[in-house]
Structure 1
Amino acid sequence: MAPLVAGSDKPRVVFVHGQGRFGAAAWPYQHRLAGQFDCLFLRRHGYAPTAAPLPTDFQADMHIVLENLGGGGHVVAHSRGAISAMMAAVERPELVQSLTLFEPACLSLTADLPATRAHRERLASLYAARAELTDEQYQHEFSRLMFGSQAGPLRTREERRAARRLRLQEAPWTAPLTIVPGLPTLVVTGGWEPLYEEVGEYLATTGATHRHAPGHHRPQDSAEGHRMLLEFLRRHQQQ
């Protein structure tokens, strides 16, 4: 995937979406940063709006991030997008000026810790059965196991495409992740789910700054979460 925007004299910020919304739609609160930064809102592998969804490809996602960094910049990621963001920082640390992770689903780092282990045990059989389930069956079971709720019927083409994409997603704990040494890293979690708090606390032991903001799984949509991001970007902006 080629860079989405031509070069700019503003500091570049690459935004990497999570599992649901993608591209600019995944970052509505961050559009206001465009006056200060060269903001690129990426689409990960398999998230083209009109093409059929594709299975997860961690390496392809990493290369999308690296291609859009150009000569270097900041990386901001949410949920599963944090996987490719961290992989890009390990692969080309000289290009990543700072890393901000909102509710990172970097579960391969915490695979043996209690909350992640319980999450794996709850969902492992569903991931294993993906090929035998329809998209709607998978979405219903995923919603039940993850949120304790029943997903509604798939009425629109976009809902059917989103359900197919969900079924094609690889388990996040299988990602080939390692720690990014020495890179300024901010982790923001919502304080609502032990799974993400466990990841945040683990990353804090490796040198990251772990903060909390309201918004449950999308703290970047809160005024406080956005403020934390802006202050962090400014602090680590190259002069």
Structure 2
Amino acid sequence: MAQQRIVFVHGAGRFGAAAWPGQHALARSYDCLFLRRAGYGLQVAPSPTDHAADTDAVLAALGSGGHVVAHAEGAVSAMLAAVSDPARVRSLTLCEPAVFSLTRDLPATAARRALLDPLFAAAPGLSDEEYRREYARLVFSAESAPDPGNDPHAAARQRLQSPPWDAPLDIVPGVPTLVLTGEWEPLYEEVAGFLASTGAEHHPVGGNHRPQDTDAGRAAIAAFLSRAGSAALADGRA
């Protein structure tokens, strides 16, 4: 029997397989594809957000169908793919999903919009380093510093990204969904609570912005994929 496919979609800072060190072992049981979103790569020039290209890449990687595991901004294209073709997305696992357009009017998201919208507006006139410093000053505390990742052009890419609360998202109908949060930032707990109200499972597992790297996060992802895979087999979708 062919292995079921998992498509991994990274956030910022790390890309490709380097974004998912805790999930490499899943390749023993699944056909794992680690995407690089549009404008990411060691030899790729930074470019503005391209939700359409990222969504097309997820759907192309899925082929006839599979599971999608996404982190942070990568959850936007993961959910857009599921909205576009829910029959091909057997499950969604969203780690600290930055799907803030779904919660844009809720308190924590509205506060983040008020904080960062002036910076997004000023971005064209700032250098990459000026933008990086101001973003870090506004968003991160000393206790939750940003992950440096593996991207030497992270500051340039970050400056070109569009406000995440402007992404054209809708609720995904009928796709089994797991949400992991790191228990460090009310913004992501607010998003998780909203998704849970639409039927998603929510597991707060620690690990700040990378809950997928914790032991509890790795175990939750593996268990959820196993259940979702068994359900897909039972339904004749795998």
When normalised by structure 2's length, the TM-score is 0.92
Matched residues in 2 for 1:42 and 1:9: separation? 21
The CA deviation at 1:48 is: 2.4
CA RMSD of aligned residues (A): 1.1
Say yes or no: does 1:41 pair with 2:34: yes
Say yes or no: does 1:115 pair with 2:130: no
| 1:57 alignment partner in structure 2 | 50
| 2:184 alignment partner in structure 1 | 192
1:43-68 deviation digits (Å, cap 9, x = unpaired): 00100220211110111111110010
1:93-112 equivalence runs, <5 A: 93-112=86-105
SS at structure 2 position matched to 1:99: strand
| 2:215 alignment partner in structure 1 | 223
Matched residues in 2 for 1:205 and 1:162: separation? 34
| 1:83 alignment partner in structure 2 | 76
Matched residues in 1 for 2:156 and 2:167: separation? 20
Say yes or no: does 1:132 pair with 2:97: no
Matched residues in 2 for 1:73 and 1:137: separation? 41
1:175-186 equivalence runs, <5 A: 175-186=167-178
Q: What amino acid is the match of 2:43? A: T
SS at structure 1 position matched to 2:101: coil
Q: What amino acid is the match of 1:132? A: G
Matched residues in 1 for 2:226 and 2:44: separation? 37
| 2:15 alignment partner in structure 1 | 22
The CA deviation at 1:148 is: 3.9
SS at structure 2 position matched to 1:108: helix
Indicate conservation of the 8 Å contact 2:12/2:154, yes or no. no
SS at structure 2 position matched to 1:121: helix
| 1:154 alignment partner in structure 2 | none
Which consecutive aligned stretches of 4+ in structure 1 deviate over 4 angstroms post-superposition?
none
Identity %: 58
Matched residues in 2 for 1:117 and 1:88: separation? 26
| 1:153 alignment partner in structure 2 | none
The CA deviation at 1:134 is: 0.6
Matched residues in 2 for 1:114 and 1:163: separation? 28
| 2:148 alignment partner in structure 1 | none
The CA deviation at 1:25 is: 0.3
Structure 2 unaligned regions, length at least 5: 143-150, 234-238
Matched residues in 2 for 1:201 and 1:105: separation? 13
Whose RCO is larger (CA < 8 A, sep 6+)?
2
SS at structure 2 position matched to 1:144: helix
Indicate conservation of the 8 Å contact 2:182/2:209, yes or no. yes
Indicate conservation of the 8 Å contact 2:183/2:207, yes or no. no
Indicate conservation of the 8 Å contact 2:71/2:96, yes or no. yes
| 1:4 alignment partner in structure 2 | none
When normalised by structure 1's length, the TM-score is 0.91
1:157-178 deviation digits (Å, cap 9, x = unpaired): x63x221111011111010000
Indicate conservation of the 8 Å contact 2:15/2:41, yes or no. no
Q: What amino acid is the match of 1:224? A: A
| 1:5 alignment partner in structure 2 | none
